[in-house]
Amino acid sequence: MKTSILHLMIFSNIIFYSCDFNDQSLEYEDYLVIFGSIVANLPVSDTVSVSRSASILEDIQAQDLWIDDASVYLIDDSTKDTLHFFNVGSGKYFPLPAEPSLENIGNYLNYIIQPGQTYHLVVNHDMGSVIATTTVPNEMNISSPDLGEYNCPDGETLLTPSINVNNLEGLTFDELLGLSINHEDFIAENSIHVDTVTYRIGDCFTKSFASYPMFGVDFDADNHKTVKILSYALDANKRGLEPLDSLSSILDPDSGGFFDYNYNNIRDSVYINLIYDTSIGFRIWKGRYPRDEENTPYRINPWQWNVETAPTPIMWLYFDYYGLHLMTFRSTSESYFNYFSGDPLGQNIYLLPDSNVEGGLGVFYSNYSSSFVVYVRRDE
């Protein structure tokens, strides 16, 4: 009995002294916060954002955290070539100033990001200096696999088409600029073959992420950790009169019933290529439509998603508009994967992402892009 009491006393002392509730509070410290990215085989195409962190006890607006007087530059680890960045807006830095000289433009266009090379982003400020390092992924090749047959919920069997996902292969940076300026003329003048897929609505086509794939894209998943997919609608801003609807009770005096996208009882101008669906199932997956100052619905463009396996099916969720789409598959660097792998949805405010900014917060990453053009048509 005495032995048992002695053991109990020893155990109680261990518990008592190990449960010290006088936790040491950590003293908050401001950090520089950096975000930026570079793309293989292109000049720098993304602005670098620089701001500072703030304590939750600090009474300050988010827009007041931007830093406009930092020194920002990019260094090629192999050649030591340096590219200077200019402040072009609130906390935003880019290799070209607002009014660039010919020398600025020449330096910018000659600094091409090389696949497989390592780059350092350096930011100096009165708060301190930080550096972030990324190694650009090597070449990424994509193809269109044969996904075979798809079985619909009603028993119908459909074939999944294969399309040309290499119709922009071999184009230079200057040529791709032509695509962004006037895509219709660019495609015609360069005889680019663009395949067409049909966007269909129904249980088989717009019910879930496992719905009928409009086509598929394959890549070497073993050599690419995270692939970011961007679906950019080139015809998103095309406007026209709201489409006619013979079943609508809202009438236009000249043409009859119509879809009143902006709820003003007037048949007026809207984004006519917008895929407009207000069904409950559609809203669950896509959410409500954002609306501009005139209450006109639209969708954020481009649409983005991350995948890690291949082949990946491309279904209805990748498209918010009809018309031409520039589809870009970006193989991202390890720094991107590490940053977003811990808490990608930001649900835990106490868990910081795995930043590659030494002495600061944020992420600087790189990617290798492969792009193609596809046309999404309405289901007649």
* Distinct helix (H) and strand (E) counts, the chain: 6, 23
| pLDDT tens, residue by residue, 124-149 | 999 999 999 999 998 888 999 989 99
Look at residue 3 in the predicted model and tell me its pLDDT. Answer: 52
Q: Find the domain containing 198 and state its range.
A: 142-238+273-331+369-378
d(CA 233, CA 320): 8
- For residue 193, the Cα-to-chain-centroid distance in whole angstroms is 26
Look at residue 25 in the predicted model and tell me its pLDDT. Answer: 57
Let me know whether 131 and 161 are in one domain.
no
Question: How many CB atoms are located within 10 Å of the residue 176 CB?
Answer: 15
In this predicted structure, the answer to whether residue 13 has a pLDDT above a threshold of 60 is no
Look at residue 22 in the predicted model and tell me its pLDDT. Answer: 54
Contact (CB, 8 A) for 376 and 325: yes
- H or E stretch at 131: strand 128-135
Q: Give, in order, the Cα–Cα distances in Å from 6 to each of 1, 15, 18, 19.
A: 9, 14, 18, 20
Domain end position, chosen among 119, 136, 153: 136
Look at residue 249 in the predicted model and tell me its pLDDT. Answer: 76
**pLDDT, mean of residues 52-70:** 87
Q: For tokens 């489409």, what's the residue?
A: 243
Domain-embedded: residue 248:
no
Provide φ and ψ at 301, rounded to 5°. Answer: -130, 120
Let me know whether 88 and 218 are in one domain.
no
In this predicted structure, the answer to whether residue 18 has a pLDDT above a threshold of 50 is no
| pLDDT tens, residue by residue, 334-377 | 888 888 776 655 566 666 778 899 999 999 999 998 899 999 99
DSSP string, 98-114: SS--HHHHHHHHH-PPP
Let me know whether 317 and 184 are in one domain.
yes
Domain end position, chosen among 136, 160, 186: 136
For residue 72 the two structure tokens come to 């920002």
Contact (CB, 8 A) for 327 and 305: no
Look at residue 16 in the predicted model and tell me its pLDDT. Answer: 44
Let me know whether 195 and 117 are in one domain.
no
Of residues 35, 36, 43, the one with CA closest to residue 113: 43
Among 18-27, 184-193, 202-211, name the one with the lowest average pLDDT. Answer: 18-27
Amino acid at 378: R
Let me know whether 119 and 152 are in one domain.
no
| pLDDT tens, residue by residue, 259-314 | 888 888 888 899 999 998 877 778 888 888 999 998 999 999 999 888 888 899 99
Amino acid at 355: S
Let me know whether 296 and 226 are in one domain.
yes
Length of the chain: 380
Contact (CB, 8 A) for 198 and 315: no
Q: In what order do the strands lie in the sheet with 142-143?
A: 142-143, 215-219, 312-314
- Among residues of the chain, what percentage have pLDDT more than 70? 90
Amino acid at 326: L
Higher-pLDDT residue of 55 and 23 is 55
**pLDDT, mean of residues 44-49:** 93
Question: What total of structural domains would you count in the chain?
Answer: 2
Let me know whether 149 and 291 are in one domain.
yes
Query: Is 51 exposed, middle or buried, given 0-12, 13-18 or 19+ CB atoms closer than 10 A?
Result: buried
Q: Give, in order, the Cα–Cα distances in Å from 255 to each of 268, 276, 289.
A: 12, 21, 26
In this predicted structure, the answer to whether residue 72 has a pLDDT above a threshold of 90 is yes
Let me know whether 59 and 159 are in one domain.
no
Find residue 231's DSSP bridge partners. 303, 327
Name the DSSP letter for residue 317.
G
**pLDDT, mean of residues 224-237:** 89
- Please, which pLDDT band fits residue 14 given cuts at 50, 70 and 90? very low
d(CA 26, CA 33): 20
Contact (CB, 8 A) for 125 and 70: yes
Let me know whether 152 and 281 are in one domain.
yes
d(CA 96, CA 139): 27
Let me know whether 228 and 280 are in one domain.
yes
Look at residue 15 in the predicted model and tell me its pLDDT. Answer: 46
Look at residue 348 in the predicted model and tell me its pLDDT. Answer: 64
Domain end position, chosen among 136, 162, 193: 136
Look at residue 56 in the predicted model and tell me its pLDDT. Answer: 80
Look at residue 225 in the predicted model and tell me its pLDDT. Answer: 74
Let me know whether 279 and 184 are in one domain.
yes
Higher-pLDDT residue of 334 and 165 is 165
Mean confidence (pLDDT) of the chain: 86
Look at residue 278 in the predicted model and tell me its pLDDT. Answer: 78
Provide φ and ψ at 285, rounded to 5°. Answer: -85, -40
**pLDDT, mean of residues 16-41:** 73
CATH number of 85's domain: 2.60.40
Domain-embedded: residue 256:
no
Let me know whether 92 and 151 are in one domain.
no
Provide φ and ψ at 131, rounded to 5°. Answer: -140, 140
Q: pTM here? A: 0.76
